[in-house]
Chains A and B, each alone.
Chain A
Amino acid sequence: MEKFEVICLVCPLACNITLSVQKGKVIDVTGFKCNKGEEYALQEYISPQRILTSTVKTTDKSKPLLPVITTVPISKKLLIPCMKILAQEEIHPPVKIGQVIVKNIMTGVDVIATRNLSC
């Protein structure tokens, strides 16, 4: 049997939650003080999700980078693969804040600009 530790981020209490796992199946969860914690811990074990923020190259020498973000969290495993895809991109201004930079980078998630870039 394995133990998997999670720090819950739902509220400032930051409970230390322990999942007991046997043959890939969660058989016990302890340490949480509310239901949200239990849910969070399970999600973290099964498929942790993260928002990805990064930059994308531009052709504008004075503003060589455009900051971007995924519209929703993506699987933690996909963070580095997404970074490699974004590394290939090069954007021409103008760009509007919220504009889609890469549609469906992975698993249906878009990457959007978080600032304007004028010509």
Chain B
Amino acid sequence: MFTRELVDVTIIGAGVVGASIARELSKYELRVLLIDKNSEVGFGISKSSTANIIEKGGQIGALREGLIVSGNKMFDKLTKDLDVPLKWIGLLYLARNESEVKSLKEHKSNEKKYGFVEMIGRRELRKKEPNIAKDFIAALYNPRFGVVPSYELVPGLVENAQKNGVELLLDTEAKKIYQKDKRIIIESNEDSINSRFVINAAGLGAVKIARMVDKNISDALPQKEVILVLEKRTEGMVNHGIIDVRSGGAYINPRCAGTITLGMRGVTVDRDDDRNVPGERIQKIVQAAKRVIPAFSPRDIIKSFAGVCTQQPTRDKDYLIGPSKTVSSLINVRVGWGGLTSSPAIAKLVVKILIKQGLDLIKNPNFDPCRQGIPKIEELTDEKKKQLIKKDKRYGHIVCRCEHISEGEIVEAIKRGARTLDGVKGRTRAGMGRCQGGFCGPRVLQILSRELNLPVTKINKKGRGSELVRFKTKELLEEGESQ
């Protein structure tokens, strides 16, 4: 643990972008501090990210385009090193009439420079997707579209960064930033940080951070997407990512875990803390999805949530990555949709910018790119299961019935940093199944209390203010009033 005085780089925001930058910087001999205002890593935009690895798409600005294309290429190695699942499911843009086919063909000639894209006809489409509605006649197919669980990716990035020397500070919110003697002071709710460089990767909070130093920063535009999750029994109904190109068309993605997500194009909202899921939106998404896969049933929905992303107020909503005009050692990283795909490339770009700003880099000889994920007892062979249980018998005690998650995995998640119910859920999937934590919830609550040595009444869902149980038994009666 080093003193705050000697920090070389402080990264504000431990989402997928901030964590990627942290890991990239840990390849060098630097004192790096990663801070986040939430109680867990990846609890900002990354928490409800669609977590797709994309291949461009539409007019999106040169910087963004370049970063998405390079980032896409880096994901195979990244997920292998971090032991995080990744599935290249490919993407099908569906067309149901000649006019839609025409615009897809135009899209194709735009995309071609990035790699392999092809138009496929009705028969090929039906072979790829046997359950698709009869009225689709063609599709544009791009194999370099993938899905990755961001709730595993972000902890993986952070763990590896920490292993290589990065210090993590959670529940730490930057309140004031200013320059002092060629260094930057960050005043947080906890204490002060004195850092040579600061990276603003604060996602929804990036504008606020940028404005602490520069006056003329325009608002980013929050975009809200509602996502529905279908249970694992639906696995196999869809094999690829699907976009129904007509307006109000569905986005369908089979995920690594075997679930299927349904969504639609996001809508711009007024507030970046708008997480309301309107009932009509759920209906719309179900209807749109059924137009593509008629066999989908709303009964299969096990979860619905809203995710908010930022879009920058730039031409073609291009990313804004670069030094602040006033304090050149503050690097603002303002991204948006496509941020997850770009994250490995953004990290490399930020390092280049830091070098330009005068940061000397010496390679860290002890850098280890590899990180072992939490073992998933359910997926192991009998032999490996036996070995794991022998090592720690808590791996034999299944706590999450729906996803078959063991106490061992939950304890390991807590050891690696999870402190909240959602934090455990993200790292293990406990509570992501059919019953949505109905059975395992109280048990995970007790395990968190035991492992963190905190009373159950202090354990929360996703951070301070979201305590799960407010009172101990009889406490309300002892107060002498029934309220």
Contacts and interface: CB of A to CB of B under 8 A. Distances in A.
Assess A/B contact in the complex (Cβ within 8 A): yes
B482 A80 contact: yes
B477 interface: yes
Interface in B456-483: 473-474, 477-478, 480, 482
A55 B477 CA distance: 13
A80 B474 CA distance: 12
Contacts of A65: 473
Nearest to A80: B482
Given A55-B473, A80-B482, A86-B474, 12 more contacts: A57-B473, A57-B474, A64-B473, A65-B473, A83-B477, A84-B477, A84-B478, A84-B480, A87-B474, A87-B477, A87-B478, A88-B478
Interface in B207-251: none
A88 B478 CA distance: 8
Interface residues of A, number: 10
A80 to B, nearest CB: 7
A55 to B, nearest CB: 7
Contacts, number: 15
Contacts of A86: 474
Most chain B CB neighbours (cut-off 10 Å) among A65, A86, A87 = A87
Contacts of A88: 478
Interface in B117-140: none
A87 B480 CA distance: 11
Contacts of B480: 84
Interface string A12-39: 0000000000000000000000000000
- Which applies to chain B's interface (DSSP): helix, strand, loop or mixed? loop
A8 to B, nearest CB: 28
Interface of B: 473-474, 477-478, 480, 482
Contacts of B478: 84, 87-88
Contacts of A57: 473-474
A87 B474 CA distance: 5
Nearest to A64: B473
Contacts of A87: 474, 477-478
A64 B482 CA distance: 23
15 contacts: A55-B473, A57-B473, A57-B474, A64-B473, A65-B473, A80-B482, A83-B477, A84-B477, A84-B478, A84-B480, A86-B474, A87-B474, A87-B477, A87-B478, A88-B478
Q: Which of B477, B478, B480 has the most CB of A within 10 A?
A: B477
Which 10 pairs between the two chains have the least Cβ-Cβ distance?
Answer: A87-B474, A87-B477, A84-B477, A87-B478, A83-B477, A57-B474, A65-B473, A57-B473, A55-B473, A80-B482
A32 B482 CA distance: 35
Nearest to B474: A87
Interface in A77-108: 80, 83-84, 86-88
A50 B482 CA distance: 19
A114 B480 CA distance: 27
A17 B477 CA distance: 34
Contacts of A84: 477-478, 480
A77 B280 CA distance: 46
A115 to B, nearest CB: 16
A80 B482 CA distance: 9
A55 B473 CA distance: 9
Interface-centre pick from B473, B474, B477, B482 (highest chain A CB count, 10 A) = B474
A58 to B, nearest CB: 11
A86 B478 CA distance: 10
A65 B472 CA distance: 11
Nearest to B482: A80
